[in-house]
Amino acid sequence: MTEKQEKCVYCNENKCTTNDHVPPKSFFPKPRPSNLITVPSCLECNQGLGKDEEFFLATFMFSQVGVSDAGKRLWLEKLSRMYEKNLGLRKKIAQHLESLSLQTTSGIYLGNTMTINTDEKRLEMVVNKILKGLYFFEYNMPFPDNAEITTLYLNHEDKYTAAEETASDLKLGSRIWDGIFEYRFNRLPDNPAGSMWLFRFWGQADFWSVTCDKELKKKILSKANILEDNRGRH
Which CA distances in Å does 1 have to 8, 38, 169? 11, 9, 31
Asked if the structure places residue 224 within a domain, the reply is no
Residue 229 maps to a domain:
no
The answer as to whether 234 is a domain residue is no
Task: Determine which of 97-101, 200-204, 211-215, 225-229 has the lowest per-residue pLDDT on average.
Answer: 225-229
Domain-located, residue 135: yes
Higher pLDDT, 37 or 70: 37
Q: Would you state the pLDDT for residue 222? A: 58
Domain that holds residue 95: 18-219
pTM above 0.75, yes or no: yes
Angle between helices 120-139 and 50-60 (to 10 degrees): 110
Number of domains in the chain: 1
Q: Is residue 86 part of a domain?
A: yes
Stronger pLDDT, 128 or 224, i.e. the higher one: 128
In the structure, what pLDDT confidence band is assigned to residue 228 with cuts at 50, 70 and 90?
Answer: very low
Q: What is the Cα Rg of the chain in Å?
A: 20
Mean pLDDT (whole number) for 16-30: 95
